[in-house]
Chain A
Amino acid sequence: MQASTYNHIVKANTESIYRFVLKMISDSDGAKDLTQDAFIKLWEERNHVNELKAKAWLFTTAYRLSLAYLKNKKRFLSEELIQDIEVTMNETPDINGIISQSLLLLSEMQKSVLLLKDYEGYQYNEIADILDISDDSVKVHLFRARKKIKEHLKDLRLVI
């Protein structure tokens, strides 16, 4: 992979990788760092990465980096923080904001599947390749993620 190809990939995928990481870790500064880390890894492994599959490779790397980041930050993610988020959600009844913030209620795998499906428009088999799981597992994780969001939205309506 030459520098021109790498630059083309950077320009085309930086935004989507950043969005994905931001939703995964809910930290804008951390998302910036992890996004850069993912592209730096791509440059280091440029001779082993297929250009046509660079985007999927980036999402896989970003997912793993996000998991590692969340493991390190897990002690800070207490139940109190989640309650604060719910309060913020109640204060801002915008449906997109509520759904985005409700991602915090999902597991990493459910969140990843949902983001890859809705943000990037990947098919089940593509998500399965990125996350290294089966197609049926993708469907199961996605169903559970949407059901959680639906239940959360239902509870908010009852509150409102």
Chain B
Amino acid sequence: MSLITKENIEIWMFNYHEELLTAFEKEQLLRFLIENPEYNEDFVLWANTHITPPNAQSVTADITKNLLQKETPAFMFPTKTIASFTGGICFAFVCMYIARSISSNTEKPIVPNRIQESRKDVKSDSASYTDKTPERILLQTKTIAATNKGMTEYKEIEISQIQDTASNSTPTTLKTTQSDLIFQEHNTPIKASDSISISKDNTEQAGLNTSEANTNVPKTNTKSSSKKKKKFSLKPAKAFNVENPNF
């Protein structure tokens, strides 16, 4: 502020009681009042211009009672209640949907890729089973004549056996052509260990001559009659000599 003069002394005193002066300015004003004591009365009157609030609490008690509003609880508001209820239901549905999706994902069995690939190779409608590395063994490929019940036509079937290399067990399936017909005629399943021979009635067409081919006795059971055991006899070779040094 500017220097204290008789013209602005009232502003200085006002600012002093309003606490707008610094400590140095307050000291300046007090020093000026000491040097000019005729302003001391005005200085005290300026201090008395500050008024204090009266106590009017007893009067306002009635006003306060009239002005207070009834406090209604939150659930009494219909819009808020409906909104919160709807929101809760939606939240519950979302939680149920998430839980169901999580449970469906966890129920799926974990299958290694190798097994899944091998599953793709298995065909449900075919009678064949193939793995990636099968050992395909052709057991027999022969011409079989169906002789039973006056059947004269020749049916060629190819019987192949696919054996799993891993297990080396009994043959799993047989790949046949018209196999059902043959099985019905013979009433016996064909196994890998079975030997399939040519029947007597069809030896001529098959170009084979056997000792029993010339007989005219009809054979009803081709399986039992066609089977003939070969006898082998072990004889020493002609070149065998006990004294021969090569043996």
A-to-B contact residues, CB < 8 Å: 2-4, 6-7, 10-11, 14-16, 18-19, 22, 28, 32, 35-36, 39-40, 43, 95-96, 99-100, 103, 114-115, 118-119, 142-143, 145-147, 149-150, 153-154
Expressed in whole angstroms, the Cα–Cα distance for A143 and B10 within the complex equals 9
A99 touches B48 (CB 8 A): yes
CB <8 Å contact, A7 and B49: no
Q: Would you call B56 and A19 a contact (CB within 8 A)? A: yes
Number of chain B residues close to chain A: CB under 8 A: 29
CB of B113 within 8 Å of the partner chain: no
Contact B48 A19 (CB under 8 A): no
> Which residues from B are CB-within-8-Å of A40?
67
| Chain A residues whose CB sits within 8 angstroms of the CB of B59 once the complex forms | 18, 28, 32
What is B's interface to A at a CB cutoff of 8 Å?
10-11, 14, 18, 41-42, 45-46, 48-54, 56-57, 59-60, 62-64, 66-72
Instruction: Evaluate contact between A14 and B42: CB separation under 8 angstroms.
Output: no
- CB-defined contacts of A39 to chain B, threshold 8 Å: 67
A11 touches B52 (CB 8 A): no
Q: Nearest chain-B residue to A103 (Cβ)?
A: B51
Inter-chain contact B60/A15, CB cutoff 8 Å? yes
Q: In the bound complex, what is the Cα–Cα distance between A135 and B107 (angstroms)?
A: 74
Instruction: Report the minimal beta-carbon distance from A94 to chain B, rounded to whole angstroms.
Output: 12
Nearest-neighbour CB distance to chain A for B90, whole angstroms, equals: 26
Whether A18 contacts B63 by the Cβ 8 Å rule is yes
Q: Contacts A100-B51, A119-B51, A150-B42 known; A7 to B69 CB distance under 8 Å?
A: yes
User: How long is the Cα–Cα vector from A115 to B60 in the complex, in angstroms?
Assistant: 18
Determine the distance from Cα of A48 to Cα of B51 in the docked complex, in whole angstroms.
Answer: 34
When the two chains form their complex, are residues B60 and A14 in contact, meaning their CB atoms are under 8 A apart? yes
